Every structure is written in C-alpha cells, then in structure tokens.
C-alpha cells in the first residue's frame, strides 16, 4: 500500500490547509489533460485518493491509527474504485469553483453602494472653533418609486423557470472518472434565481436613481487642510435597495488675510509707530475672540513677539488651544516733512549721533560702546 502522506509530499503532522495546497499543486501537474506521461493517470488517481482520505478528519484518524482507511490492521489498503472522490476540490482546482457540491444558491441583487469623497472649503475662524456646514451633493439614492425593489409598483420578481430559483443549472462534463455534473450560472436570470419582467420606469430596474440631496455636517474645531471626516451610510445607495456606502468629507481651509496658521498656533503682525515703540503704549488687536489689549513696552524693538496664550486653534484631539503670537513691526517715517525732520535731528543730537552728508559718523550709542570695548583691549 502506498503511503498517502508520501503521495502528497507532506508530513504526517501537516495541516488540512497544507494537505489541500499540496493536492491542488499535484492535481494541476498530473492531470491527464495537461500531462501526457504514461504514468500520469495512475499518479493522478493516487494523489486524488490520498487527498480523499487525508482531507476527511474521520478517515484520516482511522488511517493514522490502523495504517489503512478501512479500519482493519491487516495492512490491506483496499481497492480504490473512484467512489467518494472530492469533486468540489478538483473542480475548484481546474474551473475556479464552478462545479461540485450544491453551490452557494442564487446571487443577491442587493449590494452595498460605493463610498464617495467630496471637498469642502471653510474659513480659518471656522477651523478654530468648528462649524456646522450645510452641503448639497449629487449622489445615488434609493428609487422613491419602487423603493429599491427594481420592479414597477404592484409587481414583483418572478422565479426563473430555467433554474427554478436556484441561480445555477447543472451541466454534464466528461472526465477521466466518467460523466460528472457541474454547476454553472444560469444565463436566463444571471444567477439571481428571479427575473424582473416589469422593471420600474423611474430607475429602469436599478433600484436607485441620481439625485441631489442636502445634509448638514458638524466640522469639529481644529481641523486642517487634508483632514477627512467619515460619515457612515451617507455615500451612494446600493443597487436594489442595498445599504449606502460611506461619505468622506475632505477639508480645505482658506488662507486668512490677517492670521497665519502653524500647527495650532496663529501668527499675526502688528505695526507700531516708531515713537510708540520707543515710548511704550497700549494698543488693541482684533482677533477671532474679539479685541485683545496689547502692551507695547518702552523700547520695544522690531521683530519682538508678544504671545497671547490660548488664543490659537483648538486642539483637534485634546483640550485647550494653541497660542496667538503677535510679531511687532516698527514703522519708521519714510517721508518726514521739514518739521519732523528738524525734530529727528534734535533727537539725534541729544543721543550723541552726528551726521555728515547724510551719513552717521558718530553715535553716543553704538560707536561709543564699540570705542569703549576697543579701549579696554
């Protein structure tokens, strides 16, 4: 008696999946239709019989215990006559699961609808605090006339008189083992088991139509460009009354003329007159939270940053907000009149600054400090 494990080329502790994989590989290689070697038919029968035994847990248990599939221990293996052959497995091997067994029954017309993706633009202040957005979308919706049945109101699908509702028909096929019956999709009903003889005029038997619908979405605070919001069941309706897919809303945040966003922080520029920067003052800045007081300390320099805590963008996945960073820009007079120019000269003189032909040649500030440093060397 040949060893079934050796015939399939697997070990005695091989899993059911390993045994099935080994059999399918050998069956493709040894089948007489693709292998005309003299011994291919005998080898094909041997591996098929080995698979029949080892793929059945009870037969395999008996075989492992007694050494043969008959359950006796006299070493006799019995004669294989082709009965009990695993037709479904071999037809799956050669015909992609088209034959053997009782099939999976009729197919369903009802299918899930496709997911949809739309882009929505919002303003920066809406991203900071969140907003409810009303959308109008063109999509597939369940047909209001037939309510997804695909049939004209008052009618219903009729059972296919070819496959009698099974969605499949049996066909004979010749093989080395004789005639066997295979299952094929019924061409009359396309495998559904029923036919729609009087389709709905509104959806032409699809069970859904294109329509524009309105919905309101809640955009959470803190979203940014590229953030996607998933709305389950708000996508396209499926055929024949099938469930709708999901709707994905991708956010695009418009640029703001006054504020620049970096992460959850906002940045703004505040222009301050030169005199106000030198003397100090109180100003107000219009923010998304309303007017905020800004204290300009005496001697404030251009480029300094004043941070207003918790006035930035709301954290999307947490509590609190980022900061608002105010960048100070000091305005210098560009075209002073005669009176202003005279006052500036007086200020320069008081500061020890000397100008010759429009050039600064000495300063009680910068030059004096440099001279002192050099003198100490």
Check residues 369 and 111 and name the one with the higher pLDDT: 111
| Strand extents, DSSP E, 254-332 | 260-262, 265-273, 281-287, 290-296, 305-308, 324-331
Check residues 312 and 103 and name the one with the higher pLDDT: 312
363: CB partners within 8 A, 6+ apart: 351, 352, 353, 354
Q: How confident is the model at residue 104 (pLDDT cuts 50, 70, 90)?
A: low
CA angle 312, 313, 318 (to 5 degrees): 120
Q: What is residue 130's predicted lDDT score, i.e. its pLDDT?
A: 94
Q: Which domains does the chain have, with CATH numbers?
A: 4-95 (1.10.287.110), 116-157+196-253 (2.60.260.20), 260-331 (2.60.260.20), 338-375 (no CATH)
160 is in an annotated binding site: yes
Q: What is the mean pLDDT of residues 121-134?
A: 96
Has residue 82 got a pLDDT over 90?
Answer: no
189 is in an annotated binding site: yes
Has residue 46 got a pLDDT over 50?
Answer: yes
Check residues 324 and 67 and name the one with the higher pLDDT: 324
Cα–Cα dist 137/214, whole Å: 6
Strands 131-142 and 194-195 turn out to be: unpaired
Tokens representing 305? Answer: 């940053």
- Other Cβ atoms within 10 Å of 365 Cβ, number: 11
14: CB partners within 8 A, 6+ apart: 5, 8, 22
203 is in an annotated binding site: yes
């Amino acid at each position: 008696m040949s060893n079934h494990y050796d015939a399939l080329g697997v070990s005695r502790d091989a899993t059911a999946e390993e045994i099935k994989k080994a059999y399918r590989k050998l069956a493709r290689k040894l089948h007489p239709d693709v292998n005309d070697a003299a011994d291919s038919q005998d080898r094909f029968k041997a591996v098929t019989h080995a698979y029949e035994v080892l793929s059945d847990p009870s037969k395999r248990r008996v075989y492992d215990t007694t050494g043969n599939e008959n359950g006796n221990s006299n070493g006799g293996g019995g004669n294989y006559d082709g009965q009990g052959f695993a037709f479904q497995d071999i037809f799956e091997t050669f015909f992609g699961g088209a034959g053997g067994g009782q099939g999976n029954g009729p197919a369903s017309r009802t299918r899930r609808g496709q997911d949809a993706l739309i882009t929505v633009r919002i303003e920066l202040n809406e991203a900071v605090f969140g907003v409810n957005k009303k959308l109008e979308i063109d999509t597939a919706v369940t047909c209001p006339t037939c309510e997804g049945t695909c049939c004209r109101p008052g009618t219903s699908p009729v059972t296919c008189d070819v496959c009698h509702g099974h969605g499949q028909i049996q066909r004979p096929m010749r093989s080395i083992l004789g005639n066997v019956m295979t299952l094929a999709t019924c061409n009359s009903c396309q495998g559904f088991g029923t036919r729609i003889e009087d389709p709905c005029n509104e959806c032409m038997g699809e069970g859904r139509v294109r329509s524009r619908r309105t919905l309101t979405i809640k955009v959470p605070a803190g979203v940014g460009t590229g953030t996607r919001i998933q709305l389950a069941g708000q996508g396209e309706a499926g055929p024949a009354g099938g469930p709708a897919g999901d709707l994905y809303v991708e956010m695009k945040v418009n640029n703001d003329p006054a504020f620049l966003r970096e992460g959850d922080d906002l940045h703004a520029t505040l222009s301050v007159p030169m005199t106000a920067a030198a003397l100090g003052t109180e100003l107000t800045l219009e923010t998304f939270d309303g007017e905020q007081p800004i204290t300009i300390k005496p001697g404030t320099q251009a480029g300094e940053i004043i941070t207003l805590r918790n006035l930035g963008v709301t954290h999307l996945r947490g509590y609190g907000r980022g900061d608002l960073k105010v960048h100070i820009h000091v305005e210098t007079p560009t075209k002073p009149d005669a009176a202003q120019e005279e006052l500036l000269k007086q200020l320069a003189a008081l500061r020890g600054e000397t100008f010759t032909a429009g050039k600064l040649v000495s300063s009680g500030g910068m030059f004096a400090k440099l001279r002192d440093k050099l003198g100490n060397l």
